[in-house]
Amino acid sequence: MKDLSKALLVPPGSRIKLASIDPSDTCGYDKEAAAGHLEKNLDRLSVLQYLLYAEAARSVLVVLQGIDAGGKDGAIRDVMTGLNPQGVKVTSFKVPEGAEKRHDYLWRIHRALPEFGQLGIFNRSHYEDVLVVRVHNLVPKDVWSQRYDQINAFERMLAENGTRVVKFLLYIDKEEQARRFNQRIEDKTKNWKFSTADVKEREYWDDYIAAYQDMLRRCSTHHAPWYVIPANKKWFRNLALSQILRAELENMNLKFPKPTADLSGIHFE
């Protein structure tokens, strides 16, 4: 099996040109073989999550970003399907409102973090504050441009205190987005997903690409790496996410905690 953790990692400090990545790439996998690998990954993820929960001393935060219709919701559904809901916390970040607007941009992020023992999933994240905020000039440049360093410091603090942060950019091309928008229009069961705001955002495609590239360059670190997932093909997206997440959890060397009592002489009839 090709090591997708290596192939799709954004090496810290590197300058990735998204145009040089093929969003339809499958890194040599075919759909049939991928289905078998996915199943194995999901089985193993379930065991690893059990260990994370039992250990209850560290947590994992999965950050998902991507252009509209990039497949964030589908990825959560397809890759997290075998996990125990008790140990999973999914948070979707929308336009800040209420108390969120009356605090710094990391306040709502910190509040939403998984507890130790949990796997947290962010559907959008603090990176919106250097993406949509930058593309639409929602704050001045001198404010958003400081956020890359702030985010790195925040994620480093998390890493040093027991939270492994793993970040995925789901990367589709404009043609695939058009196909998915059209499906949302044609398929009555998907009409609810269609939003005219998404169509407006499509006009800013190139600005988003520039913002993604800076985000990857500035914020892929050893303590919180970014991975770019070619996501035109959903089956490959699922395979890549499951495989990388599995490898990340394996690297944590999770262990059952020691029993709280000497169990050797205890037996119930």
For ligand ADP, the binding residues (CB under 6 A) are 68, 92-96, 123-124, 128-129, 132-133, 138, 195
Q: Write out the DSSP string of 44-107.
A: HHHHHHHHHHHH-S-EEEEEEEESTTSSHHHHHHHHSTTS-GGGEEEEE--S--GGGGGS-TTH
Strand pairing report for 59-66 and 163-171:
parallel
Beta carbon of residue 265, minimum distance to ligand ADP (angstroms, whole number) = 55
Beta carbon of residue 148, minimum distance to ligand ADP (angstroms, whole number) = 15
Cβ distance to ligand ADP smaller for residue 68 or 78? 68
3-state DSSP assignment of residue 249: helix
266 by Cβ neighbours in 10 Å (0-12 / 13-18 / 19+) ranks as exposed
Beta carbon of residue 197, minimum distance to ligand ADP (angstroms, whole number) = 6
Beta carbon of residue 247, minimum distance to ligand ADP (angstroms, whole number) = 26
- DSSP class of 190: G
Cβ distance to ligand ADP smaller for residue 12 or 96? 96
Beta carbon of residue 127, minimum distance to ligand ADP (angstroms, whole number) = 9
Cβ distance to ligand ADP smaller for residue 75 or 158? 75
Residue nearest to ligand ADP (CB): 128
Task: State CA 130 to chain mean position distance.
Answer: 16
Residues 6+ apart with CB under 8 A from 202: 68, 174, 177, 181
Cβ distance to ligand ADP smaller for residue 29 or 122? 122
Beta carbon of residue 253, minimum distance to ligand ADP (angstroms, whole number) = 34
Structure token digits, residue 34: 């991928």
Question: What does the alpha-carbon distance between residue 210 and residue 18 come to, in Å, rounded to a whole number?
Answer: 9
Q: Which amino acid is at 131?
A: L
Cβ distance to ligand ADP smaller for residue 68 or 176? 68
